[in-house]
Amino acid sequence: MKKIILIALLASTVTFGQVPKLELTPNGIEPIIINVDMKQASTIYNKTIEWLENSYEAPDDIIFENIENKKLGIKDVEKTVWIANRIGVDVNYDMEYTLKIEFKNDRIRIKYTLGNFLKDGKKLTTTYKDLFKKIDGSVRYNYDNAVTGIEEKLNAKTQSLNDFIMGINNGEDW
């Protein structure tokens, strides 16, 4: 019985504070909720503002919604979410996105809305929906790297926000 209790305690410690992984589907990316170890939404909000200031060159230019202690919305372009080889030449694709962050005591909700791809700074008519087959929703041939790249970039961004809020050192302090 003691072993079962110990295993349950260890399992809950390991899973507490983990950031759920975002997955791209034909319907986009489902919102996730991250539990944070802080009591006040205002503290979480202030740490998020600080993260924006440290993570973006001009945070004031990308914030389109700011309701203090409740919600933040940013619109930006994520650079090089996907590299495709077209006739022997690597082509970088950037992607527009909107990130909404909502604050409650002890948790935040993250919602990404994906926009168009960009190539060489020019907006394409291609969106994430074009990466999937229409009938069965599977990833189209040759687009696995695009889906993986988008998920990796957005998961890294979300993990960065969580780590900043939680005060987790990423090894850059000296």
Least confident of 1-15, 61-75, 78-92, 112-126: 1-15
- What are the pLDDT digits (tens) for 123-155? 999 899 999 988 888 998 888 889 999 999 999
**For residues 60 and 4, what is the distance between their CA atoms, to the nearest angstrom?**
51
Could you tell me which residue, 56 or 10, shows the higher pLDDT? 56
pTM of the entire predicted model: 0.83
Phi-psi region of 56 (alpha: psi -120 to 50; beta: other; left: phi over 0): beta
**Residue of 18, 19, 31 lying closest to 102 (CA atoms):** 31
* 3-state helix/strand/coil string of 123-152: EEEEEHHHHECCCCCCECCCCHHHHHHHHH
Write down the pLDDT at residue 20.
94
Phi, psi at residue 35, to the nearest 5°?
A: -85, 130
Give mean pLDDT, residues 89-111.
94
In this model, does residue 109 exceed pLDDT 90?
Answer: yes
pLDDT of residue 171: 57
pLDDT of residue 1: 52
SS3 assignment, position 2: helix
Q: Is the pLDDT of residue 156 over 60?
A: yes
* Cα–Cα distance, 47 to 67 (Å, whole number): 14
pLDDT of residue 6: 41
* Predicted confidence (pLDDT) at residue 5 exceeds the cutoff of 90: no
> Which pLDDT band, with edges at 50, 70 and 90, does 30 fall under?
very high
Mean residue pLDDT across the chain: 86
Q: Please, what are the domains in the chain?
A: 22-166 (3.30.530.80)
- Of residues 121 and 13, the one with the higher pLDDT is 121
Q: What is the DSSP string of 33-73?
A: EEE-S-S-HHHHHHHHHHHHHHH-S-HHHHEEEEETTTEEE
pLDDT bracket for residue 121 (50, 70, 90):
confident
What pLDDT band is residue 170 in, cutting at 50, 70 and 90? low
3 or 140: which leads in pLDDT: 140
